[in-house]
């Protein structure tokens, strides 16, 4: 079983949190159409926070400074027909601008009120991460 380590950003500005929707053309995707936070896999030899900054820039065009580690989750999705173990670390990330430029991994984005995301279908850990953000009253 392959092990992947990922870092995700709870990217926020003015009390809103950035969510992105997984695109059908994302070749390593396992959750097409679901909403997630930006971030991704850490490369071998890369520091976690450096990988987080790189992934957020690649996926959204945003420059962030990672803050506190909020939580760690893991799961066992099937990626390209293979069962994998994915470990995700979530960090608070404040940004100066809300001008997003998406990569092809995602087909939509939205700055959401973390207490009301509407009828979006969220990836596994996102509801808990939104609640963690709210509890910090940022």
The number of distinct structural domains making up the chain is: 1
CATH number at residue 127: 3.90.79.10
114-135: pLDDT as tens digits: 999 999 999 889 999 999 999 9
Domain of residue 115, residue span: 2-135
Rg of the chain taking only CA atoms, in angstroms: 14
- Sequence-separated (6 or more) residues with CB below 8 Å from residue 14: 98
Question: Looking at the predicted structure, is the pLDDT value of residue 24 above 80?
Answer: no
pTM, full prediction: 0.89
pLDDT tens figures, 61-96: 999 999 999 999 998 988 778 898 999 999 999 898
Q: How far apart are CA 69 and CA 82, in angstroms?
A: 29
């Amino acid at each position: 079983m392959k092990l992947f380590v990922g870092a995700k950003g709870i990217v926020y500005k003015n009390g809103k949190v950035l969510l992105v929707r997984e695109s059908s053309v994302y070749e390593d995707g396992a959750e097409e159409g679901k909403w997630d936070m930006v971030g991704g896999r850490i490369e071998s030899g890369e520091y976690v926070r450096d990988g987080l900054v790189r992934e957020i820039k690649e996926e959204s065009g945003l420059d962030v400074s990672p803050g506190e580690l909020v939580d760690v989750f893991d799961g066992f999705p099937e990626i390209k027909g293979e069962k994998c173990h994915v470990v995700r670390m979530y960090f608070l990330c404040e940004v100066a601008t809300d001008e997003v430029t998406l990569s092809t991994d995602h087909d939509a984005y939205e700055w959401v009120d973390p207490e009301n995301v509407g009828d979006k279908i969220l990836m596994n850990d996102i509801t808990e991460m939104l609640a963690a953000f709210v509890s910090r009253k940022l």
